[in-house]
């Protein structure tokens, strides 16, 4: 498929020819998967266990290279390999799916072999899940890099790193400056600004991940939720009263918090 895409980019094939060749490759792959699945359904349990062990080992070897944290390739360069790994794991699970019921039932294999087959099957599931997550992350970062540009994205991430340390320092200082009006006002202003930048970063990346539910669950509880200024909120929450559509601070003379949330 990558060869067809490269040939199209070079102008040697038209878009229609590339589409036809890609569809032919997909049909060929589906035919091979179906043939392998049919052969595996008729195989004895020992042959099934051997196939599953070999496939899990091969996938683990491929995943160790493709999913390496030390990979120097850019996310855009890694996506073809991630898609290939994800597709291969999905094909393996499709091939195994029809035959695993009768093979993994009690009595078909020895206890140790059945336990090993279950571990291998779980490994294939994990590899597919990791490849799917890595592909989704790479696609989101590639879209963000195209939107902002590589240099702007690096500068933005450097700013975020600085704000993380500044945010932690500001939250610690706030507790000591609550009785000093000017100091509290300044800390409040910078804390809220930092929190807003973190939330903008989270929603920007989530948007480029196409509002994926998986991306939200992986990042919200570790990136967005901890970035809220809980110390500031919990400190002023007991002093806040509701009056009409606006929120006021009962003792707003000691802090500028009411200026942040509005006053009527």
Tell me the pLDDT tens digit for each residue of 104-156. Answer: 665 667 778 878 888 888 999 999 999 999 999 999 999 999 998 989 988 98
For residue 8, being part of any structural domain is answered with no
pLDDT at 260: 42
Instruction: Compute the C-alpha angle 183/191/157, nearest 5°.
Output: 135
pLDDT > 70 fraction of the chain, expressed in percent and rounded: 69
8 Å CB contact between 182 and 169: no
Number of domains in the chain: 2
Paired strand residues for 146 = none
**46 and 123 share one domain:** yes
**243 and 165 share one domain:** yes
Report helix, strand or coil for 106: strand
Q: CA 102 from chain center: how many Å?
A: 35
For residue 247, being part of any structural domain is answered with yes
- Name the E strands within 90-245: 240-243
For residue 102, being part of any structural domain is answered with yes
Over the chain, what is the mean pLDDT?
A: 76
pLDDT digits (tens, 9 = 90+) for 212-233: 999 999 999 988 888 777 666 6
Tell me the pLDDT band of 208, cut-offs 50, 70 and 90.
Answer: very high
pLDDT digits (tens, 9 = 90+) for 187-207: 667 777 888 888 999 999 999
pLDDT at 113: 81
**81 and 123 share one domain:** yes
Higher pLDDT, 41 or 243: 41
For residue 34, being part of any structural domain is answered with no
**137 and 177 share one domain:** no
**111 and 195 share one domain:** no
Report helix, strand or coil for 177: coil
For residue 37, being part of any structural domain is answered with no
Tell me the pLDDT band of 255, cut-offs 50, 70 and 90.
Answer: very low
**135 and 72 share one domain:** yes
**101 and 184 share one domain:** no
* 18: pLDDT strictly greater than 90: no
- Of the residues 147, 177, 204, the one at which a domain ends: 147
**182 and 134 share one domain:** no
- Of the residues 117, 147, 177, the one at which a domain ends: 147
pLDDT at 261: 40
Q: What single DSSP character describes residue 109?
A: B
pLDDT digits (tens, 9 = 90+) for 62-72: 888 888 765 67
User: Two tokens at 45?
Assistant: 């349990």
pLDDT at 30: 78
For residue 157, being part of any structural domain is answered with yes
pLDDT at 34: 77
For 194, the domain range is 150-261
**58 and 107 share one domain:** yes
Tell me the pLDDT band of 33, cut-offs 50, 70 and 90.
Answer: confident
* CA–CA dist 79, 127 (Å, integer): 15
For residue 15, being part of any structural domain is answered with no
pLDDT at 25: 78
pLDDT at 251: 45
For residue 220, being part of any structural domain is answered with yes
- Of the residues 147, 176, 202, the one at which a domain ends: 147
- For the chain, the residue count is 264
**138 and 189 share one domain:** no
* 73: pLDDT strictly greater than 80: no
**154 and 90 share one domain:** no
* 243: pLDDT strictly greater than 90: no
pLDDT > 90 fraction of the chain, expressed in percent and rounded: 20
**103 and 168 share one domain:** no
């Amino acid at each position: 498929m990558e060869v067809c895409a490269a040939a199209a980019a070079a102008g040697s094939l038209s878009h229609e020819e590339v589409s036809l060749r890609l569809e032919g490759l997909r049909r060929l792959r589906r035919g091979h998967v179906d043939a392998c699945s049919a052969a595996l359904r008729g195989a004895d349990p020992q042959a099934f266990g051997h196939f599953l062990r070999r496939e899990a080992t091969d996938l683990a070897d491929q995943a160790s290279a493709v999913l390496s944290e030390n990979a120097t390739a850019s996310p855009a360069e890694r996506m073809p390999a991630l898609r290939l790994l994800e597709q291969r794991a999905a094909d393996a699970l499709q091939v195994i799916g029809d035959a695993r019921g009768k093979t993994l039932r009690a009595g078909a294999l020895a206890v140790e072999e059945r336990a090993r087959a279950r571990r291998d099957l779980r490994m294939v599931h994990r590899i597919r899940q990791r490849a799917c997550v890595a592909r989704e992350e790479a696609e989101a970062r590639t879209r963000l890099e195209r939107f902002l540009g590589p240099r702007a994205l690096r500068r933005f991430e450097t700013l975020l790193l600085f704000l993380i340390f500044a945010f932690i320092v500001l939250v610690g200082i706030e507790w000591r400056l609550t009785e000093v009006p000017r100091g509290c006002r300044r800390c409040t202003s910078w804390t809220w600004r930092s929190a807003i930048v973190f939330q903008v970063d989270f929603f920007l990346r989530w948007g480029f991940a196409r509002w994926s539910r998986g991306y939200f669950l992986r990042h919200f509880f570790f990136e967005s939720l901890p970035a809220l200024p809980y110390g500031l909120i919990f400190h002023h929450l007991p002093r806040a009263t509701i009056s009409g559509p606006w929120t006021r601070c009962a003792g707003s003379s000691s802090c500028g918090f009411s200026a942040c949330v509005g006053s009527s």
